[in-house]
Amino acid sequence: MNTAAAHNSPSAGILSTITHAAASSTKDRVAGFRVDFFKADLVAYFVLVLAAFLWLLIIISHCVLQRRYVKPRPFVDRPAEHYPPVTIIRPLKGLDLGLRRTLESSFRQEYPGVVEILFAVEDPDDPAIGVANELIECYPKTRARVLIGQDNVGINPKINNMMKAFAQAHSDLLWICDSNVYTDSGTLRRSVDLLLDNKRMGVIHHVVFSEAPATFGAMLDHAFLVTNHCRMYLAINAVGIASCLTGKSNIYYKSALDNVGGLAAFGHYLAEDNMIGQALWHSGWGHTMTGDLARQPADIGSLFEYCSRRIRWVRTRKYNVTLATFYEPLTESILLGALTSWALNHLYGFNVYLTFSTFLSCWFALDMLFFYRINHGSPQSWPWFAFSWICREILALPLWLVAIVGDTVTWRGQVFRFHLNGTVEVLK
């Protein structure tokens, strides 16, 4: 057979077709691999940008800590008559841990102006009334009263409890402070100084700081509040691109609250603090912080109670600050460290295990330094504090996953279901 005949034979045509198809398939696989590799590169670069942003927030938090919290802000030298009257509202329910000490801190404020203290309590048989009355007798020169009863304006028991105090407050300046919060004696004056110095400031808030944990659950909560929560709280508020506050200790103008519907407008939300902050923010009122802490005793009794509280917090935020909540796992050290280690290995060949261990070690060291500086000293036990920190970091992602798939929470013995708009209903 000659060469031309061989090329024109059916078998030669089939072989040519197979060869061409194989070559095309190889090209397609190579092209697909290049596309997939390019996508992996993009993901890796995104992870590194995200990690850099989180490390920047950590640096910012330490800068804020140095500027505001290492040394107390000095009082502004102004005449006493320039300080407006202030009404302190303390909602009460039951005997919180260290209740007398926390409530007494309101009576001991070094404030030049007039201070009124209103204790709001729902049940006339609540044992907290006795503690409040004892303090009123001990400080007869302070205008203080106990208001009993509630106005049902929504499902939030704290809002319902405070409605009478809100209506009867004699001052436009309100300091709403939870019953389990202790503040230093200069907190109110430093806060009002900030308001007087900047007329566009409408909210003064204080970061929550846990103290004296006595159980393993309390130690986990303590480790979370005094490192991760406190650090991110300072950094986000320093950036100041949105409202970010918790409702443990906040100072507002009553007139500003009235302009956004008053307290009653937030009675259908469990996270009333967040919704109030957002409403005032969008109304043009700025938020700022002093270098004071809203100190609360670590009152969690068990690991289960800690997990339940964290799940409730995350699930509540999911319906109020949805985007930030879904982004939250990427701010945790273990997941972000694992992703960063992969990205550096993928792009530059770094050793994954060495990178991951270095990442966690640096994160841990900065958190320990952050706590030492804001606490002005060591914890009760460094080994136990470090162990609690590690356990907290390990539990963060599993608890987030549990929280993100549900739509109900249990608070003060009641079960609530969230709606998509952030409001809740009580389940019988």
Between CA 328 and CA 4 the distance in angstroms is 70
Residue 150: strand, helix, or coil: coil
- CB-based contacts of 83: which residues, under 8 Å, 6+ apart? 111, 112, 113, 189, 192, 196
**CA distance from start to end of the chain:** 93
**Taking Cα atoms as reference points, which of 253, 105, 309, 274 lies closest to residue 188?**
105
What are 252's strand-pairing partners? 174, 203
For residue 96, indicate whether it is catalytic: no
- Burial of 115 by CB count in 10 Å (0-12 exposed, 13-18 middle, 19+ buried)? buried
**Residues 377/211, Cβ–Cβ less than 8 Å:** no
CA distances in angstroms from 124 to 90, 120, 166, 322, listed in the order given: 16, 11, 19, 39
CA dihedral 385, 386, 391, 392 (to 10 degrees): 70
Active-site annotation holder among 96, 273, 292, 367? 273
Where in the sequence numbering do the catalytic residues fall? 273
